[in-house]
Amino acid sequence: MQVIHFNAQNNNPINSSADSEKFDAVKNFFQNNSHLELEEILKRLAAPTPKKSFLVFKNNRYISIPTERIAFFQTKNGNTVIVCFDQQEYIVDQSLNQVEKLLYGEMFFRLNRQCLINFNSIKEVEHYFARKLTVKLVIPEGERVLVSKEKARFFLRWLDTR
């Protein structure tokens, strides 16, 4: 059986040895990598890029807050609030669930129903009652930030794989 390889750009058969080598390299890559690894690669390629800034309205003007400046998002009195590393606070129009979808999991992690945290705002993590975790932040926060026992394992894995 004869196999004819085609150039994807113009549907012409691959004639040169360089084209043939490229084709063989791609073919070997897909044959040698597991199905799960390929799925992970495809997920990363298909994932939209994380949001780089949030437009907020404060003191009668619009301000763009870059995500690098954001220490965490929290829910306060039914509003989603951005808390920056300089301890400035801004209300954002989206729910915490919507914000979480915009940021994805590389820089931010959803600790609980009230808090979405930036990796760089974590000072330390301690064990807490009943397999929960408590997170100490680089910014003083009035209340403890708890990670539920259901999310604790995923949170520790997220910290470890960064």
**Neighbouring residues of 93: CB distance < 8 A, sequence distance ≥ 6:** 80
- Give the 3-state secondary structure of the chain: CCCCCECCCCCCECCCHHHHHHHHHHHHHHHHCCHHHHHHHHHHHHCCCCCCEEEEEECCEEEEEEHHHEEEEEEECCEEEEEECCCCEEEECCCHHHHHHHHCCCCEEECCCCEEEEHHHEEEEEEEHHHEEEEEECCCCCCCEEECHHHHHHHHHHHHCC
Report d(CA 42, CA 139) in Å as an integer: 37
Per-residue pLDDT tens for 117-150? 999 999 999 999 888 999 999 987 766 789 988 8
pLDDT of the residue at 43:
66
What architecture is domain 53-160?
Beta Barrel (2.40)
* Higher pLDDT pick, 83 / 5: 83
Evaluate if residue 78 carries a pLDDT over 80: yes
- Please give the average per-residue pLDDT across 147-158, as a whole number: 90
pTM, two decimals, is 0.68
Per-residue pLDDT tens for 5-62? 555 555 555 556 666 777 777 777 766 666 656 666 676 666 667 789 999 999 999 9
pLDDT of the residue at 13:
55
pLDDT of the residue at 1:
44
Domain spans of the chain, in order of start: 53-160
Distance of CA 153 to the CA centre of its chain: 17
pLDDT of the residue at 57:
93
